[in-house]
Amino acid sequence: MQKKNAKNESTRGWQHFVAVVLALSSHGTWAKELMGLMQAYEAARSYDPVFKGAQAVRDEGREHQTIGQAKLLPVISGVVSSNQNQSRVTEANGRTDNRGRYASNTSSLQLRQPLYDREAWAAKEQGVARTAASEALFRFREQELMVRVFEAYSKALLASEEVRLVEAQLQSADELLRANEQRLMQGEGTRTDTLETRSKQALIQAELIVAQDRAQHALDALQSIVGRPVKQLERFTSRGGTTSAPGALDDWRSKAFDTNPEVESLKHNLEAARHEVSRAKSGHYPRLALIVSVGNNESDTTSTYRQSSQTTTVGVQLNVPIFAGGSVSAQSRQAVAQLVKAQADMDARVAELEVELHRQYSAQKNGLLRIAALESAVATSYALIEATQRSFTGGERTNVDVLNAQERLAQSVRDLTQARYEQLLAGLRLRHLAGVLDEADLREVASHFGQGRK
């Protein structure tokens, strides 16, 4: 009877372990209150400090167009002054006129409209380019948020599932240790088997501590994005594959250069740099402005004492630059150098995007093959652990063989889960780099997650 109990202890341990592992690999979950991927994304849109900063940069950039446009619009200004004066006037014949204390008042209204101003026109075009650049960069940050949320979400989910795997390994080791101790008491087992199992149990306990810390850190990272406590996450529940094969690489490269918002922003920045060159060189050109003014004066000078006048003036003003100490030429050279740098920055970033695009393309495409291989590995590891357990019960295998088979199955499931998440993440990054990622794509990814079985 005691021999049978020892075998039952060992059998229950590996059966529980396999049940937990298969539940994770077949996408089950036991959580009651879950945060879904789309919930996390909506929370991040409202809280994430990085995204809020991107919104502020966009709002600031929108004003460049208004500021530039204002350079071409009329400027209207008014001046009103009131003074108390004390005056004594001495004429050429020596006669003195002591006028005592009196008040003088002046008011004027002036309109100035640029008629020819190359700097103002360049500033207007530059403002349009800068506003367009900020709008494009915000779209890039908006798409980037989807990638960051899923990356943090999948890392937190993977870390929590790793904790469950290690916990299952530890429980199986506990059951196997009890079985070893019973077999030792019955005279069938050896002290070596017990020590080996106890050593393996201690190593798994240490691994569990590391896994729990890693899971907490991953949850903290997700919480820093969504701004709320996260306890449980929806697990992967898809029965089919993940995202499909990405298509031709050249098509994605074409999309990346034509529709990537970051590249678009860099193109607008390059355009703004060209207008900065025009603005700097405009210092060599004259300016022509229409000026209309209306003024009211009352005793504003000693010669107009006790007199009031109203004056309306319409005219043009021509400002011709002659010499500015070389500052205009220096500013022009600075602007040209900035233009060269803007072109170099764009070329460097496009080259980086092409490399990253190829990497994510390969990750998504090869990810499907890797998932299929790992699914086969999980099935093989499951069959191996059953065969090893039967051999152990029959005395042909040792408890170390059983523990190694369990560890191999856990590692296969962990690798499979990680491969699924990485393949989904590669798909999002690929669409992000191509500039075509939107919420519909994120909802498609979210459809692979759910509450699953309880």
Is residue 277 within 8 Å of residue 336, measured between CB atoms? yes
CA distance 433 to 437: 8
CB atoms within 10 A of CB 287: 18
CA distance 303 to 394: 126
Is residue 67 within 8 Å of residue 127, measured between CB atoms? yes
| pLDDT at residue number 307 | 76
List phi, psi (to 5°) of 158: -65, -40
Cα torsion 55, 58, 62, 68 to 10°: value is: 140
| pLDDT at residue number 454 | 39
Local confidence pLDDT in tens for the 454 residues of the chain: 444 454 444 555 555 555 555 555 555 444 446 899 999 999 999 999 999 999 999 999 999 999 999 999 999 999 998 888 777 777 777 677 776 677 888 889 999 999 999 999 999 999 999 999 999 999 999 999 999 999 999 999 999 999 998 988 888 888 878 877 887 787 766 788 788 888 888 998 999 999 999 999 999 999 999 999 988 898 888 654 556 667 888 889 888 889 999 999 999 999 999 999 999 999 999 999 999 999 988 876 766 667 778 889 999 999 999 998 999 999 999 999 999 999 999 999 999 999 999 999 999 889 889 999 999 998 898 888 888 878 877 767 777 777 788 888 888 889 999 999 999 999 999 999 999 999 999 999 999 988 644 3
CA distance 355 to 437: 19
Global pTM? 0.83
Say if residue 340 is exposed, middle or buried (CB neighbours under 10 Å; 0-12, 13-18, 19+). Answer: exposed
DSSP 300-363: -SGGGTT-EEEEEEEEEEEE-----TTHHHHHHHHHHHHHHHHHHHHHHHHHHHHHHHHHHHHH
| pLDDT at residue number 39 | 94
| pLDDT at residue number 432 | 95
Beta bridge partners of 20: none
